[in-house]
Amino acid sequence: MRCPCCGAVGVIRLTILEGIRAQLWKFISLVAAVSSAIVGQAELVGEPWRHWVSILAIVATALIAWNMKQHPVKEEAHV
């Protein structure tokens, strides 16, 4: 079977629960990165550091979101 979004051959789409479990840590880290950006902008961090916290959190958010786009699939069992 071909993957519907990337066209890879010989893969099986995960069920909804398998997909959530496979992407759970990506989702948790995405929430943490967004929360860090909010903390940096809410002036809860000292002046020289709040800009760095915000910038690094925004970069981390973009990288994690890009990585979440790559869906997990499993290979077909060839009998």
Mean pLDDT per 10-residue interval, the chain, length 79 residues? 68 76 84 92 86 92 82 60
Contact 40, 50 (CB under 8 A): yes
Contact 79, 15 (CB under 8 A): no
The predicted model scores a pTM of 0.64
Phi, psi of 46 (to 5 degrees): -60, 160
pLDDT at 3: 66
- Backbone dihedral region of 43: left (phi > 0), alpha (psi from -120 to 50 degrees) or beta? left
pLDDT at 79: 47
Contact 47, 23 (CB under 8 A): no
